[in-house]
Structure 1
Amino acid sequence: MQTYLHSKNRGRGAESLRVSLYLDNAKCGDLHLFVIDFDKVDGKVDTQSAFFQGAKSLADRVTRSQGGGYHMFYGVDKRAAAPLFDSINLLTAEGTESFVCKTGCVTTDGRNKVDMFCDALHFIYEWEAWDNSLELTDKTQPLYELIKAHFQLKRPMDGSNGKRQSTGRNTPLLDKVSEESLRQEMTEKQQKVFDDLKTQSSDCSREQWFSIGIDIFHVFGAELGGKVFRWWSAPGHSFQPQGCARTWENICSRGPKTELKNSIWMELVAESAF
């Protein structure tokens, strides 16, 4: 390397050198690097679509790939992003080492196909000149809203001991309690809500699963709500106790900043939930 740096070929070689970004724990200051990689659909990237225009206007940096695609870069607060991204199925499964690693994602209108990465074991190869003076800004919330509005992502299967447990500890599992035992802890109004909950399947999108969990939190509280959430979630085909516990932890963290949205439940607990 030193020989090259001091050789006459350095000037010519610099023109062909390209930046490769390894996204594992890639950060700009305190923010993690989030990348949306636009792929071609039918030989082109639709730059007039609502998602492309929204992604481009939000991005801190936009570059072109050698194959004619686009790379768009954003900064995200990983801690704040975890419950948001989890609610729209953007996070990887529990057993993987990446935070976000979604490939081949097609927008709901079918106009764009993208890969999305954040803190992932993945390289991004840059074709254009790279300016290190440009910094990233926190786009966590608007990026979440943009992706939520344009994708229906599938819920990943959970494994074990993944990088997503960045706190270095396993979330305690939620108590497995029978329906009879749960009812003994409920008020009369909570039992009516529970009866309605039983009519709803947990085999739903992860976004809907998370949303119902938020409503459970508002009606039953953190402790009893966790037991109810586990009982209701357990029949789901992709249920994993550890994943359920982590999601409930995220719900409890986010819940106080939200409101009960289920109108039927609102009527049932109109006076007081507790």
Structure 2
Amino acid sequence: MANTLTNVKDIKVAQNALQPFMAAMMPVGAFSTNFSPEPADKLDTVRVPIVGTPSASSDFAGSYTAAADSAITVAPVVLNRHKFKTVHVTAREAAETSVPVLENLVASAVKQLAEDVVVDIFSEITVANYGAPAITALAASAFDYKKVLEVRSACSTAKMPISDRALILDDAYYTNLLADDVVAKSFVVPVSQPGVVEAQLRRIGGFNVFPSTVIPENGEKLVGFAAHPSGLAVAMRYLEPVAKYDEAGAVTDPETGLTFGYLRYTETGSNRIFITVECLYGFKVAIAAGIKRIVKP
């Protein structure tokens, strides 16, 4: 069982940081995942269920096990990635301001940690793993609703399941899509709808949509991709510390299992408090047809 934070102040700091961690990790929900606060060591293996396209129904011929669906597989994902970020404050810094310095520092560190994890996971989305782009390379100014439909068509041609599709886009492409006439007209009155006020486009063309400012080009000018959970498997666990710390524990979203580790320790010589947040995870290509890339010229 994972360590649990017990200090009230640490719990407050950690819970304050959980929301930005979840927000930054949101695009990873487009993949098959197995997240848990259960403790694990680096290089442990986690089994991630992959659900692909089911086989056709069978005519009953005396047995319900004939032609059993074999599209549900399990991908063994090695927890071979370990990222961390450390922040610190002095006792004087903490005492001389009414601003919750430590909470703000940790929340910022956790957000950066999550973004770095996302970039690392997205590094797997390459032509070698997923083949040619869904559509011809194009600039952000040319990405509109019709192009979304072309991406949809490419996904269907590849037999990507229609349900649970997601579209992760570089923010410039997402912004241009918001200005498309068809999309703009979908923002019906009142104008306080999320699409107008918050620039939120939750679904379009059968895709859940996620804008991103951290999609890596991967040396291939990647600017986005359509994804089904069957395309990539991602696992995450809590790395239980061996050394003794002032406070240590897993910080977890109970709904998704998204987890980061929290460590607090003190350097008495300099009178500084250090907090480290860390993430133990791994990922693996699953079904190649589960992701279709979008690239720029």
TM-score (structure 1 length as normaliser)? 0.21
* Higher-helix-fraction structure: 1
> Which gives a bigger RCO, structure 1 or 2 (Cα 8 Å, sep 6+)?
2
* Higher-strand-fraction structure: 2
TM-score (structure 2 length as normaliser)? 0.19
